[in-house]
Amino acid sequence: MALSCHGALKEIKGSTDFTFALAGNPNVGKSSIFNRLTGMGVVTANYPGKTVELNMATTTFKDLSIGIIDLPGSYALGAVSEDQWVARRAVLDSKPDAVIMILDATNLARNLYMTLQFIDLGIPLVVALNLTDEAEKRNIIIDSVELSRLLGIPVAQTIATTGKGLDDLIQKAVDVANQKEIKYDLRYGEDIETSIKKLCDSLAPYDFGINPRALAILLLEEDSEFIDHVKKANVQSILDEAKKISREIEEKHGEKTPLRIARERHGLAGSIAARVQGDIAPASSDKLWAYTTSPLTGIPLLIVVLGVIFAFLFYGGDWLSTLFSSLWALYMSPVIDGAIFYVFGEGHIGKTLIWGFDAGILAALAVGIPYVLTFYFMLAFLEDSGYLNSVAFLTDRLMHKFGLHGRAIIPLVAGAGCNVPAIIGTRVLTTMRERTIASTLITLIPCSARTAVILGAVSLFVGWKPAVAIYIIVLALVFLVGIGLNRVMPGSSTGLVMEMFPFRMPLMSNIVKKTWHRFKDFVFVAFPIVLVGSMVLGALYETGYLWKLASPLSPVVEGWLGLPAVAGLTLIFAVLRKELALQLLVTLAVVMYGGGAKNLLLFMTPAQLFVYALVNTIYIPCVATIAVLGRELGWKRAGGIMAFTTTLAILVGGIAYRVIGYYNLL
């Protein structure tokens, strides 16, 4: 269930005894702790104009009702990316009774940076020192009592995968929530603290809804959100004072003030980490990390892993899809068709409903179970093993040519199996610019359904070389479009910021939970649109209006693309499922030309089949993909992508038809 963000935050805050927010970077087991604490009944919410989600749920602890807000995984709090902005905004808006900061015991110094940011904001905190089992394997011993003393925050040692320490963690959070006042004594260097105090004194007469020290630091860090906040209050003197103090810091230290504050924070984090942990011994996982991130060994390994993913999605997914479709036709279709015909008769209404409740549901399930569900399972396995981090490092330089970073490689490759989970997978990217570029490229990558059209129409009747040529053309378009979008879209890549995540064997229970949590989003988003879209197409077909569309399409389909009109009609239906285009091409051709048209070469030339498959591959993605694009990027961007790919397909298809004809290539 999805709610408006403010409504959801207000609801969970008002219906529980305490509300706790889980914070941490994406690789510290935050999702595992959230799932362990809450189980089912998760509510998702988005801030207006943002695609990064908040997950919220309730649990019970010693007769207390506890609300849990799972903040987006991020490495810092700021306004530079959606995940950071949403994490900070959710804490400031919901005012949780405590934030549970989850730290990686194997990389304490890096994780303490965001902890210090929460302290700067004056937020009540509890630390979950997670991955302690992995730390022990690497001979990392952390004095949690000393860490608690230095931070002034309760610390609980946890193991998210087994649930160890979670009761102690929640008890400490309840204790913090019951405290009337929270005070922190951590401070940066004396000169920086003097500057912060000076700006705090200027802020003292005003109430900006945030404690003066936190606002002073944010203004000195040149945080755009809070600069605008002060501007709206018409207190220009505060901004002038902040600029003056900032210049003084820059003159003294020879670097920009935001950078200086970040350096101070990193230094304090490193100092605290050094005082609570001993020397770190190298682990076997470090060697594996080196192998997977070195181009010499990492690229061949990546090719093998991606090959396994693609083969499983293509061959395994195709087998599952065929099996599911056969079982559906054998057991479900007769029951559904019989019930609909019994109630609504065998006229236009009955047949239209069958398009939706029989063919439409089948179309959604035949994509969802074989491709989406299996992909999510493999993705969860790769995530929990730690391999995705090394892949991101390995491909980061290549992805920057497209305005992306290394995390984009897995969704892009997964698009060859199915575009739907691949687009949802772009949530690992931090900005809307990156997600828009990646999603556009994914829609151009031939999924398994479009591959079926290429193989069934071109390879079967024309030859394997023309089929390979289609892939080469499309991959060239992906490369050129990626470079072009990077140049024309405002902004730039945020860069790749992550620490080494230790390799380990994932727990099957966590993989299953993560897989289902993602798959249910596909079910709730894609199913209704596929169902409605199927009935609309069915109504056009059954009433005969679809055939009337052939005339308006003639200038483009026949005049520019050089295809018979019947091909244009099937391309309309292909919006439901891409491989349906080939099936309908044969079906509609038989209706128009007779049974002999099952051999497509009897009424289409090899050049026409090539152009047909090429256009089908490039233009508007299937309805399930459209639904997910609208959900993830907003309907304005989704519409832009559809218009762009359709225009590109028509342009490239027409050029290809003329080049083939001019040089007599087929």
Q: Long-range contacts of range 249-257, CB-CB < 8 Å, 24 or more positions apart? A: 249/191, 249/192, 249/195, 249/220, 252/191, 257/220, 257/221, 257/222
3-state secondary structure 579-595: HHHHHHHHHHHHHHHCH
Q: Of the residues 178, 207, 233, which one is the last residue of a structural domain?
A: 178
Query: What pLDDT shows up at residue 594?
Result: 54
The residues facing 54 across adjacent strands are 45
Query: What pLDDT shows up at residue 371?
Result: 65
Q: Based on the fold, state whether residues 468 and 334 are members of the same structural domain.
A: yes
Q: How long a stretch of residues is the chain?
A: 666
Burial of 1 (0-12, 13-18, 19+ CB in 10 A): exposed
Q: Of the residues 178, 199, 231, which one is the last residue of a structural domain?
A: 178
Q: Based on the fold, state whether residues 446 and 362 are members of the same structural domain.
A: yes
How far, in Å, CA of 330 to CA of 574, rounded? 24
Q: Based on the fold, state whether residues 84 and 33 are members of the same structural domain.
A: yes
Which residue, among 81, 10, 31, has the nearest Cα to 407 in the 3D structure? Answer: 81
Q: Based on the fold, state whether residues 263 and 301 are members of the same structural domain.
A: no
Residues 6 or more apart whose CB falls under 8 angstroms from that of 394 comprise 292, 293, 295, 298, 299, 302, 406
How far, in Å, CA of 189 to CA of 106, rounded? 27
How far, in Å, CA of 76 to CA of 476, rounded? 37
DSSP state of 573: H
Q: Based on the fold, state whether residues 126 and 171 are members of the same structural domain.
A: yes
Which residue, among 195, 215, 218, has the nearest Cα to 205 in the 3D structure? Answer: 215
CATH number of the domain encompassing residue 44: 3.40.50.300
Residue 332 inside a domain? The answer is yes
Q: Based on the fold, state whether residues 85 and 113 are members of the same structural domain.
A: yes
Q: Of the residues 148, 178, 208, which one is the last residue of a structural domain?
A: 178
Query: What pLDDT shows up at residue 613?
Result: 92
Query: Tokens standing for 533?
Result: 């879209």
How far, in Å, CA of 642 to CA of 619, rounded? 7
Residue 582 inside a domain? The answer is yes
For each successive 10 residues of the chain (666 residues), what is the average pLDDT?
58 81 80 78 56 79 89 76 80 89 86 90 92 80 91 91 89 91 84 90 84 89 87 86 90 86 88 80 61 79 78 70 78 87 86 79 68 73 75 78 80 78 79 90 86 76 86 92 91 55 69 75 66 74 76 88 83 76 64 56 87 92 86 91 95 95 83
Overall domain count for the chain? 4
Write out the residue range of the structural domain in which residue 368 sits. 295-492+514-527
Residue 158 inside a domain? The answer is yes
CB–CB of 29/160 below 8 Å? Answer: yes
Query: What pLDDT shows up at residue 501?
Result: 55
How far, in Å, CA of 550 to CA of 307, rounded? 41
Q: Which helix (H) or strand (E) holds 99?
A: strand 98-104
Residue 652 inside a domain? The answer is yes
Q: Based on the fold, state whether residues 203 and 92 are members of the same structural domain.
A: no
How far, in Å, CA of 416 to CA of 301, rounded? 19
Q: Which helix (H) or strand (E) holds 409?
A: helix 409-414
Residues 6 or more apart whose CB falls under 8 angstroms from that of 334 comprise none
The model's pLDDT over 167-188, given as tens digits with 9 standing for 90+, comes to 999 999 999 999 877 888 888 8
Residue 500 inside a domain? The answer is no
Query: What pLDDT shows up at residue 145?
Result: 92
3-state SS assignment for residue 65: strand
Count of C-beta atoms within a 10 Å radius of residue 48: 7
CATH number of the domain encompassing residue 270: 1.10.287
Residue 284 inside a domain? The answer is no
- Token look-up 């099957």 returns 508
Query: What pLDDT shows up at residue 72?
Result: 83
User: What region does 152 belong to: left with phi over 0, alpha with psi -120 to 50, or beta?
Assistant: left
Q: Based on the fold, state whether residues 264 and 324 are members of the same structural domain.
A: no
Q: Based on the fold, state whether residues 224 and 122 are members of the same structural domain.
A: no
Residue 283 inside a domain? The answer is no
Residue 377 inside a domain? The answer is yes
Q: Based on the fold, state whether residues 236 and 96 are members of the same structural domain.
A: no
Query: What pLDDT shows up at residue 599?
Result: 65
The model's pLDDT over 102-130, given as tens digits with 9 standing for 90+, comes to 998 888 888 898 899 999 988 999 999 99
The DSSP code sequence of 125-171 is EEEEEE-HHHHHHTT--B-HHHHHHHHTS-EEE-BTTTTBTHHHHHH
pTM beyond 0.75, yes or no: no
Q: Which amino acid is at 249?
A: I
Query: Tokens standing for 473?
Result: 């053309």
Backbone angles phi, psi at 145, to 5 degrees: -65, -45
Q: Based on the fold, state whether residues 383 and 523 are members of the same structural domain.
A: yes
Which residue, among 458, 658, 662, has the nearest Cα to 559 in the 3D structure? Answer: 658
Q: Based on the fold, state whether residues 537 and 520 are members of the same structural domain.
A: no
